[in-house]
Structure 1
């Protein structure tokens, strides 16, 4: 096993080096969102559904209107009829036999008749006419059909909005996770460089006899651990950057340039966000579309039981110019569908949509409150960590001065260096948690597109 250890350690280093060697390109948040909207296959599929529903609605916009058609016929025919003449021959013979002999003798002999005779007729002709049907009253069926298709379009639009919000939320996670990972890697690199300097100082102090062998070994172990943590942080940063690149179909390694940011001022009130969410959340729009579909289906079912009135006309285009016009009424006396049962079914769908809407409103309000509290908690935590950052810097300054004066050891200085790096990495993590909570909050409110505005107004930035 020890023989393979150098190879196993070198593999992640080679991979990280190969990733880092690729071209990095600066990428703002607005540019990332634009690339996502232009290149996402999932969003393209959702937009295709919306386009299909819109085209369908346009196709039936005039359903229930007049219909005019032209009909032309050209034909030729041949008809034949075979006549059996044997009964006629027998009848004539019997009739002659019934006559008096004197009279029968005076009659000339009957010509011989064939046993059968075929009559044949041939002809060709053509005709043309214009037909028109104008529905006058269809019980509201066309309106129900148009409403149904329109509600399906609203549902597709709500699905598209949901897909866009989900895609942007995933993008935000990967974009700002890349920001956080790159910052963590930079902090680890800086800490490793600082520990390397302190390790060199510990070695010199050992040779000068002012440090013990234990302190030297502690410094060396701290250096190796710091270097390992730096390599790991770089590898993690490259991995999340690669995930971001795959999400955006990006050539090379993207370098997010919009920093993690948060405001020193509190977010608007929780109730404002809840009111917005209960108005703009795409899930509520989808439920409303489902309810509308059930209502239009119910109306269509009722329309089938109502009488239908229509006008019709026909005019021949031939030389005689015959024409026909009238008004018709159609009413179903009985069919095989139980319309009352169908109406109860649609009414149950309406009740189901109403119950789903009530549950969704409760869930959305709870989601908004959870995300709002998480964002505020992370914001407060980030601000409170500022004092610890100042303390860490002051402690590092004192340890450096103490090392020169002989009141501190190299290990004390290394601990102060690593603790400050750890604290700043933790602050970056808290800033990332705030941004992610803000993303979830805006997504629940149907306003995730406004994330860029919140980041632009933020006054605390992790450049």
Structure 2
């Protein structure tokens, strides 16, 4: 059996250069750089951060004056002015009395009458503003005191900017965990394929031996049929493993944000010693993006309370305006004006009171959620840490089982070739060895993915690659 195994491994090694030639090598560090550059989720997070930055800049503009340019043309129903036509009759009577009083010489009356007739016959309407007019002007408004609303809006915008940055960091950490899961998932799948292929090759050799032993009468037909049954089962499991490999390869390409067939150069690993649990819990309390986002949401809710409280105060603005161009606008109208405006709501149907109360309740709710989130993250860190320790301890037991399974297969293979053992015992030993090898690889995969999730919860996903380079990090590969 040792010869068969060596032949199978040799065949795998001989075919490896041809496969590698078609695959581009990809280390975990290169995969991380590619993911954090090309993954659409990272690009979306970057857009969200830039949007929050622009919102913060927009909030700064609330402090600045507002300058506007306006123009208008109007055609009124009539001219604007003073109508003195009702005074014509009294004025005419008074003139007649003066002329008939004898105070004016009769010879002068015709001349005076000639002068007064055009005046008395004219329209006594004094036009102040023509009915057709237009103007172009501008106005400036500068907030002086808005009850603290502008300050609250600026603080809220800065909080939202930080929240967007923390959300981007959370996306980054989640992608690191996803990449580790899929990168090592593909490595595991390929090594499981190698294990299944070795089982198929070994059972095929057992089948050939069983057929030879059956022809010589050393074993019964049922023994050979049992090996054929196990051969079909091994081929099915190999086919399933290849399908799983293809699926995980597609998932890895999706995480990387690019397609391609890649040769993975970073092996799964096991770390000898981890920092104490308190180290990761303290990291999580300081650096976990989710906790930071919840804290920022609490602060944002507090700014919402301040913004609603500002509605109870008066609002004061400075304002001014000027006309740059006038069309038939009366000279009596001033060309510029400046002033201060004050507005204050006396009663609005208790709208302000209820909104202020709702904002306070929201702040209290977020405060409770912040406390709960802190406890949840601490529990999650402890759970992941303990699972890591469990898999590290389990690896010692698995490696002891591996040595026993290899020796058992050697013994049963020798007994079978000498006609002293059954094919079922040999096949069971072969499958047991494959199961132990697969369990060893699976334990290493679980350790690495749990480590990535632990670092994600601690807000230290960027440190994952450094764990693989530690002096006590041991590679776990197919043997």
Shift of 1:246: 2.7
For residue 447 of structure 1, what is the aligned residue in structure 2? 460
For residue 346 of structure 2, what is the aligned residue in structure 1? 334
Distance 1:362 1:74, change over 3 A: closer
Separation of aligned partners in 2, 1:90 and 1:342: 67
Distance 1:356 1:85, change over 3 A: closer
Separation of aligned partners in 2, 1:171 and 1:68: 50
State yes or no: 1:158 paired with 2:189.
Answer: no
Separation of aligned partners in 2, 1:47 and 1:146: 21
For residue 274 of structure 1, what is the aligned residue in structure 2? 281
Distance 1:97 1:165, change over 3 A: same
Distance 1:453 1:405, change over 3 A: same
Q: TM-score, length-normalised on structure 2?
A: 0.77
How many pairs does the alignment contain?
437
Selected match of 2:385 from 365, 369, 372: 372
SS in 1 for 2:263: strand
State yes or no: 1:363 paired with 2:370.
Answer: no
Selected match of 1:245 from 242, 253, 261: 253
Separation of aligned partners in 2, 1:343 and 1:221: 75
State yes or no: 1:234 paired with 2:245.
Answer: no
Asked if structure 1 preserves the Cα contact closer than 8 Å seen for 2:139 and 2:319, the reply is no
Separation of aligned partners in 2, 1:220 and 1:76: 101
Asked if structure 2 preserves the Cα contact closer than 8 Å seen for 1:131 and 1:315, the reply is no
For residue 15 of structure 2, what is the aligned residue in structure 1? none
For residue 462 of structure 1, what is the aligned residue in structure 2? 477
For residue 29 of structure 1, what is the aligned residue in structure 2? 28
Shift of 1:413: 2.9
Shift of 1:158: 2.2
Shift of 1:411: 4.0
Distance 1:388 1:312, change over 3 A: same
Shift of 1:58: 3.0
Asked if structure 2 preserves the Cα contact closer than 8 Å seen for 1:84 and 1:115, the reply is no
Gaps of 5+ in 2: 1-18, 326-334
Gaps of 5+ in 1: 1-19
Separation of aligned partners in 2, 1:324 and 1:101: 54
For residue 47 of structure 1, what is the aligned residue in structure 2? 46
For residues 2-36 of structure 1, the C-alpha deviation after alignment (integer angstroms, 9 at most, x for no partner) is xxxxxxxxxxxxxxxxxx99953332222222222
Asked if structure 2 preserves the Cα contact closer than 8 Å seen for 1:86 and 1:115, the reply is no
Shift of 1:76: 12
For residue 232 of structure 2, what is the aligned residue in structure 1? 224
Separation of aligned partners in 2, 1:140 and 1:87: 59
Shift of 1:421: 1.0
Separation of aligned partners in 1, 2:209 and 2:61: 87
For residues 191-233 of structure 1, the C-alpha deviation after alignment (integer angstroms, 9 at most, x for no partner) is 1011111211111222222222222222222222212221221
State yes or no: 1:433 paired with 2:468.
Answer: no
For residue 13 of structure 1, what is the aligned residue in structure 2? none
For residue 436 of structure 2, what is the aligned residue in structure 1? 423
For residue 4 of structure 1, what is the aligned residue in structure 2? none
For residue 198 of structure 2, what is the aligned residue in structure 1? 190
For residue 143 of structure 1, what is the aligned residue in structure 2? 151
For residue 295 of structure 1, what is the aligned residue in structure 2? 302
